[in-house]
């Protein structure tokens, strides 16, 4: 996360095992969701930079981990859900 006023780095999110293909803030600015070529999406606390959840495509179907990339992820308007593709 970059500070928009100063241009300084505030947080570097570490945890994905491959390229991050998408990153979006929640509407209230408290969380960030990232999507990665490693097949996961991660939800991060924007103020601390800590990961709070790791989402895997295979978990949605109960059939285990899929290695297909997650190209994008975003929060619903009310912030209660995340959509991935």
Please say whether the beta carbons of 8 and 1 come within 8 A: no
pLDDT at 64: 58
- Dihedral-angle region of residue 62 (phi above 0 means left; psi in -120 to 50 means alpha; beta otherwise): left
Residue ranges of the chain with per-residue pLDDT less than 70: 58-67
Which 8-state DSSP code applies to residue 9?
B
Query: Which pLDDT does position 65 carry in this prediction?
Result: 56
Question: Residue 13 has what pLDDT?
Answer: 95
Give the pLDDT confidence score for residue 14 in this predicted structure. 95
CA distance 42 to 15: 9
Would you say 76 and 54 are in contact if contact means Cβ atoms under 8 Å apart?
no
The β-bridge partners of 33 are: 24, 43
| Residue-level pLDDT at 27 | 97
| pTM for this predicted structure | 0.87
Lookup: tokens for 36: 């990665």
């Amino acid at each position: 996360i970059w500070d928009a006023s100063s241009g300084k780095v505030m947080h570097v999110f570490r945890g994905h095992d491959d390229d991050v293909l998408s990153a979006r803030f929640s509407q209230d600015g408290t969380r960030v969701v990232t999507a990665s070529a490693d097949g996961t999406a991660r939800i991060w606390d924007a103020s601390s930079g800590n990961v709070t959840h790791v989402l895997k495509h295979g978990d949605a179907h109960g059939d285990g981990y899929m290695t297909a990339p997650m190209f994008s992820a975003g929060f619903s308007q009310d912030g209660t859900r995340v959509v991935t593709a």
